[in-house]
Structure 1
Amino acid sequence: MAFGELVKRHLVDTRPLGVPAYRRIWLGQAVSHVGVGVTVVAVGQQVWELTHSSFWVGLLSMANLVPLVVFGLWGGAVADAMDRRKVLLIGSAVAWAATLFILVQALLGTGNVYLIFAAVALNATGFAITGPTRGAIIPRILEPELVPAANALNSLVYSIGAVIGPMVGGVLVATGGFAAAYAVDALLFAGSLYAALRLPSLPPKGEVSRPGGRAVLEGLSFIVRSPVLLMSFVVDIIAMVFALPRALFPELVDKSFGGSETALGLLYSAMAGGSVIGALFSGWVGRVARQGVALVVVIAVWGLAVAAAGLVHELWLVVAFMAVGGAADVVSSVWRQSILQLYAPDEMRGRLQGAFMVVVAGGPRLGDVRAGATATVFGLTGAWVGGGLACAAAVLVVGLSVGAFRNYRAGTAAKGREAAPE
């Protein structure tokens, strides 16, 4: 096979961009994710300057997490009961209003940390509504065989935003202040609003459940009764809780790299950089049929990469191994999202996407707690390396022990249904 053909087969599959509705969603996300990264940096720095307390900066995670959990589950239920275009517009409007709110407080110079927390919580509420809805929309506007490629493209723009956004945010805060950073985010978010406005009507299909606690419980019950879906959640929790070493970065930099801020920045960006590379060369991902086994293997690779990063002493090697972990993580994300979107019936997709969001949002934060707690008992190396090895061992044992998940093939629908274009 010629080198050019080999590269083409492995580069990210761009066929979903040929569908206008998806292309607009993708472009809207591409610009808005940069804005999100800008605001993340600006908000953290503004709270620090107002309080000079890392505790208050840390509380920003809770201001994000609680709305993501509560409204992620509820938003998914709403997405199954209403026209998904309308739900996406409502959630986008809430998130944009939050961005405008935080911009106004910066322009007025209120200096009130509680207003910032309220804006962050409101923004997380909007994201909790749009996230599950957007995930449930993808299988409605694309053929099933294009869904993995679409998820890879989504991961690509998310990872690029995670790399570029914070860098742009740092420059904007330094040169134009907080208001300039928030204004750029508000401007870039217009891309997501435009994409939502141009979507066709997407009314619910199948049996419609009224949004509320009962509908949420129906979605959670469906996951528990579906070994394939349940295991796709379990292996992700194993990956994040057992192996994520993010909370150990400051200690590693302080002990091994002289407290260098450059080293700290490289560590925080290493995974995102690896994710960009993994997504760019994800053309092969959609051709893998045994996605259950493949998912287990790639999460084991993630765990081993983390363990290797904890054993080396040169900064460039730590960054390289964490980048390998980031590449493995993005492939894992593509397969987990694809399994969820194609295995579930359409009338359940919103609720299952909401549960997916809860796991994605909560897993890393539990991983931070695990890393910090085990480091106090076993030390930095024990917590870092031990977590990676435990992840690899646990995911191989647990993931391969469930026959339905081990034998799952791409595109297989729940209850024997064949996945079909919608």
Structure 2
Amino acid sequence: MKLSTTLLDVTPLRSNAPFRRLWIGRTLSGLGGQMSLVAVMFQVWQETQSPVWSGAVGLAQALPLVALGLFAGAVVDRVDRRRFSLLMTAGQVVCSLLLALQGFLAPLPPAGLLVLVAVQSCFVAGNGPATRSFLPLLLPPHQLAAGLALSRIAFQGALLLGPALGGVVAGTLGVGACYAIDALTFTAALYAVFRLPRMEPGGAGARPGVRGVLDGLAFLARTPVIRGALLTDLAATLLAMPVSLFPLANAEHFGGDPSTLGLFLTAVAVGGVAASLLSGTFTRLPRPGVVMLVSSAVWGVSLALFGAASDPWAGLAFLALAGAADTVSVVARGTVVQSHTPTELLGRVAAAEQIVGQAGPDLGNLRAGLVADATSGATALVSGGLLCLGAVVAVGVTTPELRGPQRVRPRPAAAPGGSPAPPAAKEAPTPLE
């Protein structure tokens, strides 16, 4: 295999200026967002010294995403996605500026700070489905997997660097500086969206209100390939999410040394980055559904082996393998879902992905903690990994559409150079539907 077909495919960055601007903007804003999250956690902890209040930060972020996601997706499918994303991004900028002002001038009480975080998350709930729908409209079908892999490595880079930078800035310049940097990075995202072509909904657009949401849910229910992809994601996160067990594993394997706790997340991240850098090995394969199923099964097996490992360094190696499998699964799943979603439903399907991606890990961590409390950490990890493997096999057996070659849904591509693209025509359903 040639090296050029093994490494990360950067063709979308070289050949597509709107995608390149969007990728740079989202990379910078993701980095600023991670810095801002560290600042919020630090500020809440300083005021309360309470892990309950610290945990409430995640709740303030998650609830709007879950509560508003599907309705936001229906709105995205009724309007020009570019203009809607501009409005949502501008709302996030305003919230970051308000966070910076209170950080520099008059710190809010914890409850007020969480309210502001929740308001910003409302804009995130709207912007998520819009930005997720950009890639299949900007990139030709054969570059979609490569574009998703590039988005994944940008996310992982922000996750690795953002918290560390946020901690340094908050400790030296104060939390206000973190929020200000976050607002500044959002301007890159705002510019990138501003330069996008028009992205009108296909066909007649979504029906208003609850009817539009129900139409989206009905599409998910009747489309086996997308339903199977989302169920696979739920199986991996709900049944085998290990993060809540890392402190316990650290206590068992490293004597509870706080300096080693970060090794667990780092191992997962290292595996994910390695898979992204070598993503050419799987983004060019013609059966992304099979890639998704196999990598999700590897995720489950790796975590079961991590739970059973007696040597701590072997356990970290299994976590790195799990991180690599997670990245492969995320990219392949995105390729499957976006390739088989009609233009007029991109927002609602993206919203469903966003909700599954938010709720699945949170519930999975809760499940792991409850099982570990009733049994042991090893039992929770091994049982979760094996349950994930069984669920993935069941999805693969009952969803033959995922095992077949990819049928790419035709859609109008955005015009190069940022010029407006014509409204999409309503596509006929494929045999997969």
Q: Give the TM-score, by structure 2 length.
A: 0.92
The answer to whether the 8 Å contact 1:94/1:125 transfers is no
1:286 aligns with 2:283: yes
Matched residue, 2:420:
none
- Number of matched residues? 414
The one-letter amino acid of 1:222's match is F
**Which residue identity is paired with 1:415?**
P
Instruction: Please give the alpha-carbon distance, in whole angstroms, between the structure 2 residues aligned to 1:357 and 1:62.
Output: 15
Is the contact made by 1:293 and 1:400 (CA closer than 8 Å) also made in structure 2? no
2:121 pairs with 1:124: yes
Aligned equivalent of 1:415 = 429
Cα deviation, residue 111, structure 1: 4.2
Residues 25-104 of structure 1 correspond to what in structure 2 (within 5 A)? 25-104=22-101
- Counterpart of 1:367 in structure 2: which amino acid? G
Give CA deviations for 1:130-166 in whole Å, capped at 9, x if unaligned. 1111111211111111111100000010011000101
Tell me what 2:5 maps to: 9
Q: Between the two proteins, what is the percent identity of the paired residues?
A: 37
SS at match of 2:318: helix
Q: SS of 1:85's equivalent? A: helix
Query: What CA distance in whole angstroms lies between the structure 2 residues aligned with 1:179 and 1:264?
Result: 28
What SS does the aligned partner of 1:171 have? Answer: helix
Query: Which of the residues 242, 250, 253 maps onto 1:253?
Result: 250
CA contact (8 A) 1:35 1:185 kept: yes
> Do the aligned residues in 2 keep the contact of 1:278 with 1:330 (CA within 8 Å)?
yes
Alignment-mate amino acid for residue 380 of structure 1: G
TM-score scaled by length of structure 1: 0.94
Counterpart in 1 of 2:183? Answer: 186
Q: CA deviation at 1:410?
A: 5.0
- Which residue of 144, 150, 154 corresponds with 1:153? 150
In the TM superposition, 1:11-410 aligns within 5 A as: 11-17=7-13, 18-410=15-407
Q: Deviations over 1:81-107 (max 9, x none)?
A: 111110110110111112112111111
Q: Decide whether aligned partners of structure 1 residues 232 and 324 sit closer, same or farther in structure 2, where only a CA change above 3 A counts.
A: same
Deviates more, 1:389-398 or 1:19-28: 389-398
Give the whole-Å Cα distance in 1 for the aligned partners of 2:173 and 2:106: 14
Counterpart code for 1:298: S
- Secondary structure at 1:416's aligned position in 2? coil
**What are the superposed Cα offsets for residues 197-248 of structure 1, whole Å, 9 maximum, x if unpaired?**
1111212221212441110110011000101110100000000011111001
Deviation digits for residues 279-314 of structure 1 (CA, Å, limit 9, x no counterpart): 111012222222222211110001111112222244
Report SS of the residue matched to 1:284: helix
Structure 1 unaligned regions, length at least 5: none
CA contact (8 A) 2:342 2:409 kept: no
Partner-residue secondary structure (3-state), 1:279: helix
Q: Supply the AA of the counterpart residue of 2:149.
A: A
5+ residue gaps, structure 2, are 411-427
- Could you tell me whether the CA contact under 8 Å between 1:290 and 1:410 is conserved in 2? no
**8 Å contact from structure 1 (residues 145, 286) kept in 2:** no
What is the one-letter code of the residue matched to 1:351?
R
**How big is the shift at 1:338?**
1.3
CA contact (8 A) 2:282 2:291 kept: no
Contact 1:74 1:211 in 2 (8 A): no
Q: Deviations over 1:149-206 (max 9, x none)?
A: 1000000100110001011111112211211221221112211111011111212221
Distance in 2 (alpha carbons) for counterparts of 1:23 and 1:219: 30
Q: State the alpha-carbon separation in 2 of the partners of residues 269 and 409 from structure 1.
A: 34
